Every structure is written in structure tokens, then in C-alpha cells.
Amino acid sequence: MAAKKSPPRPAPVAPKCGPCGGTGEVPIVVRVGRKRRTVGQQAGICLACFGTGEAID
Ligand SMILES: [Zn+2]
């Protein structure tokens, strides 16, 4: 008996946001001072989709 599980829900085809690739977050390089030394990266909210990951028309 093969129990087929139906998918939770048919996901609507939402256009992915370009800059963040649909994640809603974009890496932000953190630089310090005059030497422009890169000290790391932070995850920042994507301003193109406001964190939703979906492209806004
Ligand atoms: Zn985005």
C-alpha cells in the first residue's frame, strides 16, 4: 500500500526577488574606518523586497 502524500499546498508561483535570490536577506560587508578594512559580513534585510523574498512589481 503506497500512501501518497499530497503536497502541503500548491505553492503559488511567486517571482523571486533578484538582489536576494528569494531569501529576503542580502549580505552586507562591514568595513571599518579609513583603511576600509573589511571586518565581516552581516545579513541585512533586502531593500528590494523588504525581506519577503518576492519580487515586487
Ligand atoms: Zn529581495
Give the pLDDT confidence score for residue 49 in this predicted structure: 93
The number of helices, as runs of H, and strands, as runs of E, in the chain is 0, 2
Ligand 1 centre distance from Cα of residue 13 (Å):
16
Predicted local confidence at residue 2, as pLDDT: 75
* Domain spans in the chain, listed from the N-terminal domain onward: 15-57
Q: How far apart are CA 39 and CA 48, in angstroms?
A: 25
Give the distance (Å) from ligand 1 centre to CA of residue 38: 23
- Which residues are within 8 A (CB) of 50 and not within 5 positions of it... i.e. 6 or more apart? 24, 56
pLDDT over 70 percentage in the chain? 98
Q: Ligand 1 centroid to 40 CA: how many Å?
A: 21
Question: How far is ligand 1, taken at its centre, from the CA of residue 57, in Å?
Answer: 12
Pairing of strands 25-32, 37-45: antiparallel
CB within 8 A of 55, min separation 6: which ones? Answer: 14, 15, 16, 17, 18, 48, 49
Residue 5, pLDDT score = 82
pLDDT tens for 1-28 read: 778 887 777 767 779 999 999 999 999 9
Residue-level pLDDT at 6: 78
Residue 5 Cα to ligand 1 midpoint, Å, equals 32
